[in-house]
Amino acid sequence: MIKPIKLAQKDFLSSLDMSTEECTHIIDLAKNIKNNSLNLEYENKVLGLIFDKSSTRTRVSFQVAMSRLGGTTIDLNPTTSQIGRGEPIKDTARVLSRYCDLIAIRTFNHSDLEEYAKWSTKPVINALTDLEHPCQALADFLTIKEVFQDFRNVVLTFIGDGNNVAHSLILCGALLGVEVRIACPKGFLPNPFIIKKAREIYKSDDLLKIIHDPQTAVKGANVLYTDVWSSMGEENQKENKDKEFNGFTIDTDLLSKANKDAIVLHCLPAYRNKEITDEVIESKNSRIFDQAENRLHVQQALLSCLIQ
Ligand code: CP
Ligand code: NVA
């Protein structure tokens, strides 16, 4: 029977904090938790949640996951704690380490998350930064595995902005040996550091493709994935990005150019009829709500592999 292993790294800041074996293990553990074939108990364990940006799925899935594991969460709202007053991260992190068993953080700068991890003696989890969303990618690949059984011959085409969600898909895809294609406008490429790291893991340049024409990028794809064009913190770029991403909407026409069995994913929240049409979200190809559910199962699996 599968049992949680302890991850080699203390923190989960990036998809790069897992080995291929650890990534596969978390996904398989989550599958067992989902099928009720595994009951885990972490009584009295406390997860602190610091969210500098809004969240529905990540916040609630962490809260329910801890509750199912027998532990609790504390919502450290920056506006009602001293975090919002600007208390240095190195002080907050050391204090919270003395109360909490783990801390999940959603913030803007990835370097702030790294600063928390540096000073915290307890595991720190990335609940989304401007650079990565690694918990999301785990749920995404669990959803893909549920449909296709394994990752062999899976081609994932991400259509949209080359930022946090795309970055974690690229890195997690590299760990799992999945071909990942990013279809984005020329000015919205993924971070070169992420591309370099992924190519090092793949040991090949062929499995990660950057393509600027969505029609070409979806040919032969089994998974079409998109995310909002303007992320949290980019509200003032909305008008410009809506223009730049014209032609990058996943609609029924684009979907019809992918493989017949292609599934559609979106991390949510979505702007319907911008990056994806209402029709595609509600289509038989959509696995978007299974994907959202899987955040919960993956969160339990991840927490059980990080709790010290
Ligand atoms: N996908 C995701 O992270 O959703 P939330 O912003 O609602 O947490
Ligand atoms: N790219 C989006 C993801 C939201 C889950 C954002 O950062 O706002």
Does any ligand 1 atom lie closer than 6 A to the CB of residue 56? Answer: yes
Q: Is 191 annotated as a binding residue?
A: no
Does any ligand 1 atom lie closer than 6 A to the CB of residue 267? Answer: yes
Confirm whether 15-132+295-306 and 136-292 share one CATH topology: yes
Ligand nearest 60 Cα, by number? 1
Please name the residues in contact with 206: beta carbons below 8 A apart, sequence gap of 6 or more. 179
According to the model, what pLDDT value does residue 20 have?
A: 98
According to the model, what pLDDT value does residue 172 have?
A: 98
Q: Is 121 exposed, middle or buried (0-12, 13-18, 19+ CB in 10 A)?
A: exposed
The catalytic residue positions are 106, 133, 136, 227, 267, 295
According to the model, what pLDDT value does residue 205 have?
A: 78
Domain map of the chain by residue range? 15-132+295-306, 136-292
* Mutational test site, ligand 1, from 63, 128, 293, max ligand atoms within 8 Å of CB: 128
According to the model, what pLDDT value does residue 221 have?
A: 98
Q: What is the pLDDT along the chain (308 residues), one digit of tens a residue?
A: 899 999 999 999 999 999 999 999 999 999 999 998 788 889 999 999 999 999 999 999 999 999 999 999 999 988 889 999 999 999 999 999 999 999 999 999 999 999 999 999 999 999 999 999 999 999 999 999 999 999 999 999 999 999 999 999 999 999 999 999 999 999 999 999 999 999 999 987 789 999 999 999 999 999 999 999 999 999 999 999 999 999 999 999 999 999 999 999 999 999 999 999 999 999 999 999 999 999 999 999 999 999 98
At residue 102, φ and ψ (nearest 5 deg) are: -150, 160
According to the model, what pLDDT value does residue 170 have?
A: 98
* Dihedral sign from CA coordinates of 241, 242, 247, 250: positive
Q: How far apart are CA 303 and CA 308, in angstroms?
A: 10
Nearest Cα to Cα of residue 159 among 181, 178, 191: 181
According to the model, what pLDDT value does residue 38 have?
A: 83
* Mutational test site, ligand 2, from 52, 53, 62, 133, max ligand atoms within 8 Å of CB: 133
Nearest Cα to Cα of residue 183 among 208, 217, 206: 217
Please state which CATH number belongs to domain 15-132+295-306. Answer: 3.40.50.1370
Residues 208, 184 contacting (CB under 8 angstroms): no
CA 133 to centroid of ligand 1, rounded, Å = 9
Q: Does 1.10.1040.10 match the CATH number of domain 136-292?
A: no
According to the model, what pLDDT value does residue 1 have?
A: 80
Ligand nearest 227 Cα, by number? 2
Closest residue by Cα to atom 4, ligand 1, is: 57
According to the model, what pLDDT value does residue 299 have?
A: 98
